[in-house]
Amino acid sequence: MELREIEIFLTLAEELHFGRTAERLHVSVSRVSQSIRKQERAVGAPLFARTSRKVELTAVGEVLRTGLRPAYEGIGTAVAAARPRRDAWPAR
């Protein structure tokens, strides 16, 4: 799973709306939908229950969100911590 796919999944898990997720991430609704379908194929189970009126995380989606959230936040923390040190690194 790529970092952008994780971001899409976690944002949809928070928003529970494909349109708002797409708007927030500056991608198309189609891109969000394609990413979630790809992730569902990789996991082998639905991550979201969808109707025309509602989007909900499935039990499998809850497990994935619980596992991915700290890892994703850790990546963001590590990148933010590295940024101030980039100026100290000798240029090549």
**Domain spans in the chain, listed from the N-terminal domain onward:** 3-86
pLDDT reported for residue 1 = 84
What is each CA distance from 66 to 7, 49, 52, 72, 90, in whole angstroms? Answer: 13, 17, 26, 11, 39
The CATH number of domain 3-86 is 1.10.10.10: yes
Residue type, 86: R
Q: What are phi and psi of 57, to 5 degrees?
A: -70, 140
Per-chain mean pLDDT for the chain: 93
* 72 conformational bin, left if phi > 0, alpha if psi -120 to 50, beta if neither: alpha
pLDDT reported for residue 92 = 57
pLDDT digits over 15-25, tens only? 999 999 999 99
pLDDT digits over 54-82, tens only? 999 999 999 999 999 999 999 989 988 88
Q: What is the pTM (predicted TM-score) of this model?
A: 0.86
